[in-house]
Structure 1
């Protein structure tokens, strides 16, 4: 079987069950890993898996370094004084320790690696943006900037958003943390996210002279527990295709973009495949990971407790829903890309395929271990406001109204077609060796990133 039957296409257009699941999921609100909201989300998924008659539904619990926010306050003393303490102005960055510091603010624009070489950062509150400037051939992640600031002797870290609308953008600054050891340099710096508007206000005052500030973050750090939830469809087979997403979300907004949309698509593709599972060549495993936002803990637990040799490939949905055009990053596993280019021809959905690496999602747990894996999202579509849906991610503006059902159903059809193709017995996908993974990381400029964040293991 290589094509999706027309009747399934029609059902995808007419059946709104999985979209209604997405509505329920986002209505939960806070789905931060380890909270009741994440647990409620798993229960919704379990009901959906049961409704499509998926087999072997199970949850698996694991521990991770938990974090819960309290209050965050920044008192700024420039040419005049003001205080930030409301969530549309400032919020703590997950993973930050509690602390109360007073120091001078030192501003860096985009935070390219060379910006952190100055000795002037020592003892300062370093402010940088979430921008990756033109000419940099890889994404500059917040935790890389945080780690470089810590290594340079900073005592505080302010992460200013580039998107207008009073929306500080959060994200974990100390993933892969050890909650039993808070004395490590990375993770000892108090960190907070501030809005574009407040960041620019501070910049205006810096032009007039020095600016000092008191930054107080109150939070709770303690080991917590999350769970993965999974089910299977299709025949018993030696190999299986994993279709994955993460069910947790940051505690701001309702996690529609990141990653409610991807979670709902896993459910919808599973629903469509369940109608033709006897015709599939191999098993499909649907997996929704927990605690992705804290450092890929759910996928890390999964690969350590399952036989990865049985995995034909992993298709991870994250950063999807910006449009109905698929964007497939293959990490050099070219056969995955070829399958999705066939999808483009058959269902007339634009598909962009690149071999670029992407370390920012659960697919990376597998790809970094040589398991054929792709990060599947969708290309961004500009909105009338000039802000793409991605710009709302990790903010309190990450709400369902930024997405639409038309994109959802067309992506579901394209993804279902792609999964069918990847299950075909004649389609072989070779794993990568340790040396191949290492060489790709060096070629694409990620060696330094991994070393500065203590994750280089090659």
Structure 2
């Protein structure tokens, strides 16, 4: 499709030609993005509240200050932390199966939880509703899905539907063979939550053969009050408005969370380093935001935006959120159908000859969703949309490891992110903010 730039972007594009060449040259000529990616992965899975997550925060605080050339602000976020102490499943024949408690699962009573198993296949909300009273008091078995694609039903949606229908427990089996347990978070640690565990594809298949029989779950975990830290570095422009370039710090402890989201963090650092001396001459500034506790229902960005004084929040005019940016060829922007966002993206990239895909239906699967909920135009950049055979299929499994990411994928993602931020800082106009009615229409709630 041929893109016709609106007049204000035509002028901006002409002014940015030299900037574009400078930024792309810096990203592609430097080895630093690959070094940063390796260093972030080396801190481990960065599960919230662990030494790995704390080490990553310290590493990133130092590197972000260097990359942006400005001091880093740390924002403490209190939250209800959780430590995993073990989990397992005993089938109807007494055989023990390995399992991995989903984040913030309540513990089972001493001796475990015994109930009939109900296999609901994919386990969509419609399938759960159709099962009716069979769900009440049962342990539901559902399937994980390829996370970045059309029609994906999020694990949390399945869990919440099962809990509301009266299920006693929740099991989710990986959709990818290879003895790979799947992880993620579910619930919020409050009363009324039900024990929830992730299984491998093979364990799911073995248990499905016993649907209708009684099985036993064991989950042990401990809740406690904790604090996590968000990190911010701001480069002012000529006017007070800011474009926010964000990525999440935390991950999961089955592997080193390489794709999700060391890729996004490394790209934030590369983009900020490439544009830092250009932004002060542009209309708007840029704020790099590294949010924490994202894997637990986007807690870090939710608290940040909720606690900002309205005058400060009003300065935030666009969010470019980087989450799982490499591990497949091609990039897609999840725009949530926010007015003007898809046109902005196409117009911003047109002068370079680059283009990326866009997907309009709301996917509240990363920190951009909280900006949308505050009426701030936002989108998530990700790799591998509707590419279920790509390495993105290993998200939330022990196979989310560094070798799944090609260096050129990282550099292309950082280039696109930097160009979009640069366009946001330079453009005369941006996609408009929107009110509560549009927020409800976009999010469906």
Please, what TM-score do these two structures have when normalized by structure 2? 0.89
1:377-392 aligned within 5 A: 377-380=382-385, 387-392=389-394
What is the distance in 1 between the residues matched to 2:286 and 2:235? 5
Alignment check: 8 A CA contact 1:337 1:353 kept: yes
Counterpart-to-counterpart distance in 2, 1:268 and 1:285: 14
For residues 209-288 of structure 1, the aligned pairs below 5 Å read 210-288=212-290
- Structure-1 residue corresponding to 2:87: 72
Among residues 58, 66, 89, which one is paired with 1:43 in the alignment?
A: 58
- The reply to whether residue 12 of structure 1 matches residue 12 of structure 2 is no
Cα distance, 1:30–1:353 mapped onto 2, change above 3 Å: closer
Q: Determine helix, strand or coil for the equivalent of 2:426.
A: coil
Q: Which residue of 2 aligns with 1:453?
A: none
Give the Cα separation in 1 of the matches to 2:329 and 2:277: 23
1:329 deviation in Å?
A: 1.9
2:106 equivalent in structure 1: 97
Corresponding residue for residue 419 of structure 2: 417
Question: How far did 1:45 drift?
Answer: 1.3
d(CA) in 1 for partners of 2:344 and 2:24? 18
Q: CA deviation at 1:338?
A: 2.2
**Cα deviation, residue 154, structure 1:** 1.6
Aligned equivalents of 1:147, 1:7: Cα separation in 2? 48
> 1:338 and 2:338 equivalent?
no
| Alpha-carbon offset, residue 342 of structure 1 | 3.0
Q: Is the 8 A contact 1:326 1:349 kept in 2?
A: no
Q: 1:234 Cα shift?
A: 4.1
Are the equivalent residues in 2 in contact too, given 1:54–1:232 (CA < 8 A)? no
Q: How many Å separate the matches in 2 of 1:350 and 1:323? A: 16
Deviation per CA, 1:54-113, whole angstroms, max 9, x where unpaired?
324110101112111111111111xx442113xxxx201111111011112111011122
Give 1:205 deviation, angstroms: 3.8
Taking only aligned residues, the RMSD between alpha carbons, in angstroms, comes to: 2.1
Aligned to 1:347: 352
Partner of 1:152: 165
Could you give the per-residue CA deviations for residues 230-279 of structure 1, whole angstroms, max 9, x where no partner exists?
10124352211000010111121101111110111111100101242343
Contact between 1:380 and 1:388, CA under 8 Å: does it hold in 2?
Answer: no
**Alignment length (residue pairs):** 421
Give the whole-Å Cα distance in 2 for the aligned partners of 1:414 and 1:62.
30
Is structure 2 residue 292 aligned with structure 1 residue 290?
yes
Equivalent position SS for 2:72 = strand
Do residues 121 (structure 1) and 132 (structure 2) align?
no
Residues 97-133 of structure 1 deviation map (CA, whole Å, 9 limit, x = unaligned): 1101111211101112232231012221111112389
Distance change >3 Å, CA 341–CA 33, structure 1 → 2: same
Given candidates 106, 121, 132, the residue that maps to 1:109 is: 121
CA drift at 1:344: 4.2
Matched position secondary structure for 1:26 = helix
Distance 1:113 1:54 in 2: 48
Structure 1 residue ranges without an equivalent (≥5): 448-458
Instruction: Quote the Cα distance in structure 1 between the aligned partners of 2:79 and 2:102.
Output: 17
Q: Determine helix, strand or coil for the equivalent of 1:171.
A: coil
Q: Which range is displaced more, 7-16 or 403-412?
A: 7-16
Deviation at 1:411, TM superposition (A): 1.6
* Residue in structure 1 matched with residue 186 of structure 2 by the alignment: 173
Match for residue 450 of structure 1? none
